[in-house]
């Protein structure tokens, strides 16, 4: 299956993607995680992305699209993938369509996670992220690690992402509404969108997503 996950910052895309990718046996491809891995490794790509991320703005398409296409071309993505955080504007959605067309592939669904803004702010304010792998995320209230400040998965140190400050979250939400939300209509025109509520327990949202994807298939 080829799925795009869309939703505001803090909706739970990364959290759900980890479970869905495992259940569907497809890789979870997060452009945010790829950028953070490049930043922590000090690569030229990471250096290009860092300032934009810190400000809550989108990294330029020239950088992002090449990185995403490169990742989708890996062998583990040959039979499908779950995209999280890409595409994030219309130019990226058109580039993805071009990539799929060139490779004679199609998307199966665009899963839209709906969550009220007040909940998003609570989720982001309490999020703690692993220094070793930003896909390992916790929450001080909703998903506590077994040992405070330590990642359950790999033992890494947990920290608060620099772009999770209240001010930057407001900017990220603004970017989401103005640049990312239009891709939902773009995909609606292709009949691909399934919208679910992302409220409730993590496991309940996963089940809702699996049911919605099964109904779409
Ligand atoms: P990215 O890393 O993609 O961030 P985002 O879209 O803002 O999403 P988040 O990671 O903040 O949230 P999430 O929805 O994954 O929520 P999570 O599961 O962690 O992008 C960061 C930056 O990179 C961008 O600002 C941009 O600069 C750049 N970038 C990335 N992709 C790009 C692109 N394509 N083009 C250009 N630039 C790009 O959950 C949040 C918290 O809530 C966690 O603590 C979790 O434990 C908790 N939680 C989750 N589900 C529940 C639940 N059901 N109940 C209670 N708590 C929950
Ligand atoms: Zn970890």
Number of independent structural domains in the chain: 1
pLDDT by residue (tens digit) across 79-113?
999 999 999 999 999 999 999 999 999 999 999 99
Q: Which residue among the candidates 122, 131, 143, 161 is catalytic per the annotation?
A: 161
77 in a structural domain:
yes
Residue 7 lies in a domain: yes
Q: How far is CA 132 from CA 20, 32, 37, 125, 152, in A?
A: 22, 14, 8, 20, 12
- Angstrom distance (rounded) from CA 104 to CA 133: 32
Can 123 be counted among the known catalytic residues? no
Model ipTM? 0.96
Average model confidence (pLDDT) for the chain?
96
Which residue's CA lies nearest to atom 42 of ligand 1? 123
- Domain-embedded: residue 145: no
Whether residue 183 is contained in a domain is answered as yes
Report the candidate in 197, 48, 20, 46 with the shortest Cα–Cα distance to residue 134.
Answer: 46
Residue 17 lies in a domain: yes
pLDDT exceeds cutoff 90 at 166:
no
Cβ burial, residue 122 (10 Å; 0-12/13-18/19+) = middle
- 96 in Cβ contact with 29 (< 8 Å): no
Give me ligand 2 centre to Cα 137, in Å: 8
Assess whether pLDDT exceeds 80 at residue 217: no
Ligand 2 ion: Cβ-proximal residues, 5 Å cutoff: 130, 132-133, 136, 151, 153-154, 156
Ligand closest to Cα of 18 equals 1
CA of 120 to the centre of ligand 1 (A): 10
103 located within any domain: yes
Residue 41 is part of a domain; what is its CATH number? Answer: 3.40.50.300
Determine what percent of the chain is predicted with pLDDT higher than 90: 98
Look up residue 167 and give its two tokens: 């001010």
Residue 33 lies in a domain: yes
Instruction: For ligand 1, say whether the CB of 143 is within 6 Å of any of its atoms.
Output: yes
Give pLDDT tens digits for 5-35: 999 999 999 999 999 999 999 999 999 999 9
Q: Catalytic site residue 127?
A: yes
What is the domain extent for residue 184? 2-115+168-216
- 87 within domain boundaries: yes
Which letter, b or e, does each residue of 22-44 get, where b requires 16 or more Cβ atoms within 10 Å of its Cβ? eebebbbbbbbbbbbbbbeeeee
> Length of the chain, please?
217
88 vs 66: CA distance, rounded Å: 14
- Cis preceding linkage at 87, omega within 30: yes
- Phi first, then psi, for residue 184 (nearest 5°) are -65, -45
- Ligand 1 pocket mutation, candidates 4, 12, 135, criterion most atoms within 8 A of CB: 12
* Helical spans, DSSP H, in the chain: 13-24, 31-40, 44-54, 61-72, 90-102, 117-125, 166-175, 182-188, 202-216
DSSP result, 125-146: HTEEEESS-TT-EEETTTB--S
């Amino acid at each position: 299956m080829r799925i795009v996950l869309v939703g505001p910052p803090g909706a739970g895309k990364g959290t759900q993607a980890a479970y869905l990718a495992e259940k569907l046996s497809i890789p979870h491809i997060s452009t945010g995680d790829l950028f953070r891995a490049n930043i922590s490794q000090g690569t030229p790509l990471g250096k290009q992305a860092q300032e934009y991320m810190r400000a809550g703005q989108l990294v330029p398409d020239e950088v992002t699209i090449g990185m995403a296409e490169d990742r989708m071309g890996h062998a583990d993505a040959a039979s499908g993938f779950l995209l999280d955080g890409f595409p994030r504007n219309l130019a990226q959605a058109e580039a993805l369509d071009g990539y799929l067309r060139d490779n004679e592939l199609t998307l199966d669904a665009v899963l839209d996670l709906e969550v009220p803004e007040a909940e998003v702010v609570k989720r982001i304010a309490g999020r703690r992220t692993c220094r070793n792998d930003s896909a390992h995320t916790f929450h001080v209230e909703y998903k506590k690690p077994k040992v405070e400040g330590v990642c359950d998965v790999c033992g890494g140190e947990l920290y608060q992402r620099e772009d999770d400050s209240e001010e930057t979250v407001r900017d990220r939400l603004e970017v989401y509404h103005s640049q990312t939300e239009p891709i939902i209509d773009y995909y609606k025109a292709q009949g691909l969108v399934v919208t679910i509520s992302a409220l409730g327990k993590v496991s309940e949202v996963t089940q809702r997503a699996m049911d919605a994807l099964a109904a779409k298939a």
